[in-house]
Structure 1
Amino acid sequence: MGKRIKTLAIALAALLGLAAVAVTTLVLLGNSRLNKVYRVQPETVAVPADGAALQRGQYLVATGCAGCHGGNLAGTPFFEDPALGRIPAPNLTGGAGGIGATYTDQDLLLAIRHGIGQDGRPLMIMPSDAFWHYSDEDLAAVIAYLHSAPPVDNDLGERTLGLLGRVLVGAGVLNVLAAERIDHDGPRPVAPPQQVDAAYGEYVANISDCRSCHGPALAGGRSSEPGAPPGPNLTPGGDLATWTAADFVRTLQTGVTPAGKALNPAYMPWPGYGQMTEEDLTALFLYLQSLPAVAGQE
C-alpha cells in the first residue's frame, strides 16, 4: 500500500510539474503576443475640416465607435472579469484620461486601421480588421470628427490581464488582437460608390465588423467577444430568407425581429447600427441576400 501511494504521489507531482510548465509556456507566449511591437509605417491620409467631412465622420463614429466607447466617446469599462482581467474601451476625447489631446492623425490612423497603440503594441478588442476596410476618405472623416469631439473627463485606467487571461491569449482561445490578423503592408481595398446596392452593402458589412460574430461567410459562428453566444446565420439559408428589406431595417432600428424576438444589445449592437441611414441598411440587406444560401448556425 505504501509503495502504491508513493507511486501515485510521484505521478501526481509529475503531472503538476507538466501543468506548471504548460502554464508557464502559455503565459510567456501570451506576454509575447501582447507586448509585440509592430513597426508599421502609416500611410498618409488628408484629414479635412469641412462640414461635410465632419458630418460623415460623426455618422461613422456613431454607428461604429460609440457602441464601445460611449455616446459621448468618454469610454466604457468594456470588459471586466475577475479571473481574466480588465479591458476598458478608452476615452477618445481630449478630456482628462482621454487620448484626444495626445493622439496625432497618424496615431489615430494606426489605432483605427492597424490596431496598434502609440507604444507600438497591439490594442485589445479593437476591431481594426474591420476598420481596415475604411476608405481613406471615410477614415479621414472619422479622424477629423474625433479631433472635434467635445472633451469629457473620464480616466478609465490601464488595461490589465490576469494569469488566466494571458494563458488564454497564449493558447489562442482569447483572440482579441486584431493587429495579428491584418496584412499591414497589403494593398488597400477599393471602396465602391456609396449607393443602394449589394456592392456598397458589402462595404457596410465589412466596416461594421459583422463577420466577427456571424462568421467569415456570415452563415453564423462563434463570436469573437468572450462569453457571447454564436452569431446567427445571415445568409438566405437562415431566417433572413423570409425577411423583406423593410423587415431588416425595422429590426435594426427597433431591436425586435419580425417574429417578435428582442435582440440583446449586449451581443447584437443594434442601437448603433440602427442609427445608419435607411439607404445604408437597405444596401447591407441587399448584400446579405446576394450571398450563397448556407445552412449555418442559428
Structure 2
Amino acid sequence: MILLLSVFVTAVYLISNNRMGKTYSVKPTPVPKFVSNQDILEGKRLYQSRGCGDCHDVDGSGKTFIDDPAIGTISGANLTAGKGGILNDRTDEELAVAIRHGVGKNGRALIFMPSTDFQGMTNDDVGKLISYLRFATPVDKEQGEIKPGPLGRFLFVIGEIPALVSAEQINHETNHLQNLKPTVSLEYGKYVAATCTGCHGMKLVGGPIQGAPPEWPQAQNITKAGLSHYTEVSFIESIRTGKRPDGSEIKFPMPWQSLAKLTDTELKALWLYLQSI
C-alpha cells in the first residue's frame, strides 16, 4: 500500500509539474496607451470591478489569497513598479498576454491566473487597465509564495481545478476586439458576465469554486432559473449593497464590493444576459 501510494503521489507530481511547466507561444497584440485622467480612472475602475484586487490587493502589491496545506499556497504578483514588482520588467504587450492568455514572461504558464475570465477583454479595456497600473503608486513588496499542494495538484490533474493553468483552456490564436461600446445588450452583457465565470463556471450554473477551501460555500446558479426571485431592480440593488431581496447578507467569497463598481449600463446588460440563459 505504501508503495502504491508513493507511485500515485509521484505520478500526480510529475504530471502536474509537466503541465504547469509548459510554455506557450502567443503572438502579442499591440495595446493602446492612455494618459488622460478620465482613461486612467476608467482603468482603475476596471481593476476594481473585475476583481483584480482579490488576488493582487487593492494597491496592486499582491497578496496570498489561498493558504491551505492541502490545496496549496497561492499569491498574486506585485503589479506595481516598486521593489519586488513586475511592472518595470514587462512591456504592455507582455502584460496583456498575461491578463488574457495566462502566459507570463518567456512563454511560461502562470499559476492560478484566471485568464478565462479576461480572455475576451477588448484592447481598449486592457490598455486602460495597464495604463492605470503604470500610473499607480509603486509599492515595495516581494512576491508571495506560489506552491500548489498535494490535493490541489490532484484536483488539477483530474480536471477539477482547470484555473490552476488557465493557459490550457484558452485559444491563443484569438483575434481580440479593439473596443465594445457599453450598451444594455446581450452582447455587452455576455462581455461583462465573463468576470463571473471563474467562480460560477463557464455555464454560470454555480457549484464548487475552483481551488476553494472546503469551508467556502458553493457558487450559486446565476442563470434565469437561479435568479428567479430577483427583478432587475433588486438584482442591481443586491450587487450595490451586498444584501439579497430578503434582507440577508451576501457573504464572502462573493465579491460584491468589487462588482458594485460596475456601471448601471454594465449591471443592466449583465442582468439581461443572465436572464437569457
TM-score by length of 2: 0.90
Q: Map 1:13-92 onto structure 2 (within 5 A).
A: 15-64=1-50, 65-92=52-79
The count of corresponding residues between Structure 1 and Structure 2 is: 273
Q: Describe the superposition over 1:95-126 as per-residue Cα deviations: whole angstroms up to 9, x where unpaired.
A: 12211222211220111011112142211221
Q: Distance in 2 between matches of 1:84 and 1:192?
A: 37
Q: Can you list the C-alpha shifts for 1:264-296, whole angstroms capped at 9, x where unaligned? A: 23x2111100111222112211211222xxxxx
Distance 1:23 1:77, change over 3 A: same
Which one of 166, 183, 202 corresponds to residue 216 of structure 1?
202
- What's the secondary structure of 1:79's corresponding residue? strand
TM-score of the superposed pair, with normalisation by structure 1: 0.84
CA gap of 1:136–1:193, structure 2 versus 1, over 3 A, is same
Matches of 1:187 and 1:160, distance apart in 2: 33
SS at match of 1:87: strand
What's the secondary structure of 1:201's corresponding residue?
helix
- Between the aligned partners of 2:94 and 2:62, the Cα distance in structure 1 is 18
Structure 2 partner of 1:12: none
Pick one of 132, 138, 156 that aligns with 1:151: 138
> Which residue of 274, 282, 293 corresponds with 2:268?
282
Verify: 1:235 aligned to 2:219, yes or no. Answer: no
One-letter amino acid of the counterpart of residue 95, structure 1: G
Given that 2:123 and 2:177 are in contact with CA atoms closer than 8 Å, whether structure 1 keeps it comes out as no
State the secondary structure of the residue aligned to 2:240. helix
Look up the SS of the partner of 2:67 in the other structure: strand
- CA separation in 2, counterparts of 1:103 and 1:187? 22
| Alignment-derived partner of residue 133 in structure 1 | 120
Post-superposition Cα deviations, 1:197-242, rounded to whole Å, max 9, x if no partner, equal: 3321111111x1x12322332222332242343221212212x223
**Are the structure 2 counterparts of residues 81 and 49 from structure 1 closer, same or farther at C-alpha, using a change threshold of 3 Å?**
same
Given the alignment, which residue of 225, 228, 231 partners 1:244?
231
Any stretches of 5+ residues in structure 2 without a counterpart?
none
Deviation for aligned residue 1:32? 0.3
**Alpha-carbon distance between aligned partners in 2 of 1:163 and 1:236, rounded to the nearest angstrom:** 37
Please tell me whether residue 169 in structure 1 is matched to residue 156 in structure 2. Answer: yes
Alpha carbons 1:112, 1:128 under 8 Å: kept: yes
Whether the 8 Å CA contact 1:222–1:231 is kept in 2: the answer is yes
Which of the residues 95, 101, 105 maps onto 1:114?
A: 101
Instruction: Give the CA RMSD over aligned residues.
Output: 2.0
Instruction: Give the alignment partner of residue 190 of structure 2, picking from 193, 202, 210.
Output: 202
Give the deviation of 1:23 after TM superposition.
Answer: 1.8
Supply the distance in 2 between the matched residues of 1:66 and 1:157 (Cα, whole angstroms). Answer: 15
Instruction: String of CA shifts for 1:108-153, please: whole Å, max 9, x gaps.
Output: 0111011112142211221111111101111111111111111112
Q: Structure 2 vs 1, CA of residues 168 and 48 (structure 1 numbering), >3 Å: closer, same or farther?
A: same
Does structure 1 residue 257 correspond to structure 2 residue 253?
Answer: no
Distance in 2 of aligned mates of 1:149 and 1:79: 25
Rg comparison, structure with higher value? 1
